Structure 1
Amino acid sequence: MNRYRAGAVAWMASAVLFPVQLLVALRWPQGYSMTDNAISDLGVTICGQFSEQGKQMRDVCSPWHPLFNAGMVASGVLIMIGAVLLHGWWDSRAGRAGTILMALTGLLVAIVGLAPWDTHPDVHDGAALGQAVAQWLAMGLLAMVAGPGHFRRLTIVALVVSLVGFAAFVAALEGTEVPWLGFGGTERLSFDILSIWTVLVGATLLMGRGLRDQAPTPAERPSVRTRGT
């Protein structure tokens, strides 16, 4: 397995966070709400009532919080490893900047897991926001250098959905009622789509026309290296 394939596999493996979230949520004694609870509530280390500056009051009790936090760290490390291994696949200044930003994204995801929201709120929130900004920038750069095809379309759609979700999440933090999604749903729309994009990009690259040991030539670079593009 060459390093580009290994990088793609690492990004796909970062999906480990999704089954971890499900397992941890199922252990909540009072039940976890996708609309009323934040993602970070799964990693809170004590039981009690929590809020966002007095708004979005909710009950939190996550007995399996160590598993969630470990899953965040594992997912972040896999994203970081994948970015390092894929560095040079998009062989241009913007492409290399994109993979560097994805490595930073992975580091910040790991920090989110190492700093639970209730014990280190400023570090946790700062790392989460930094992760989103770094990945938005990375997605924009990689979409720009990829050329026409499935990858660019996937990236643009995911980027727009994440940004819209983040705007709704900020509004929910200020107390705005968001129909159907709620506070928790808007956060997931913004942040989970970033995780899903990373996994899908890994799968797209792995199913492409051969991730070789060498970076693509300039003539090949506009092709997204996926079937039918």
Structure 2
Amino acid sequence: MKRSTLKVAAGLFAAALLLLGAPAYAAPTPSPKPSPSPVVRSITISGESLSAPITLRSDQHPKEFGAMITEVDWLASRPGVTKSPAADKLGPKFTVVTALNDVDKQTYDIYPQAVGGPRVFRPAAQPDKRKVAAGWFIGRLTMETSLRQAGVPLGSAELGQGGGKGGGLPESGAAEPDIQAMVGDWQRFVGLNGAVVVVIALGVFAIAYAFRRTV
């Protein structure tokens, strides 16, 4: 009787140990949480002078993308500040579309060589369906330079038109100021003025000396 009781107790004890240890062996290994997808922004440039659109990605072209996105990103919700320019004063047109993880967000028409400086038009219909009014804006003076860095072929701006340098000057070596010539002209001007002052002073001294002799 005692042996039977001991066997039953031993069996129950062994079963309890198995039950206690079972969850530790049976529990599935938790799978690691997937890392969040990286946020990638992009900007696509298209235009009549381009054989194919140019796409700049923040993860592949950080410098070029950063330069181009600054040309339009600040216009997302601002009201227009200028009236529509005359069509024959706008110059070549390019359309830029910004995207977030390949989902289009904003679109703009840009005119880097418009007369009087770069211009930007924001259509009322935007890819992300946000409500904004159509508007014209004065673009940044760096627009032409940013487009060139992105690979957009642009001819030299004609005299009187705006460009990457602003003020309507053509982008060429002849338009750059000759610092050495300016310094030389200034030195010659100062030297000439100094000589004139010396001559005048000598003349006044001679007149004063002659006047004293006569008195």
Shorter-chain-normalised TM-score: which range? under 0.3
Higher relative contact order (CA 8 A, sep 6+): 1
The structure with the larger Rg is 2
Select the structure that is richer in strand: 2
TM-score if structure 2 supplies the norm length?
0.20
Select the structure that is richer in helix: 1
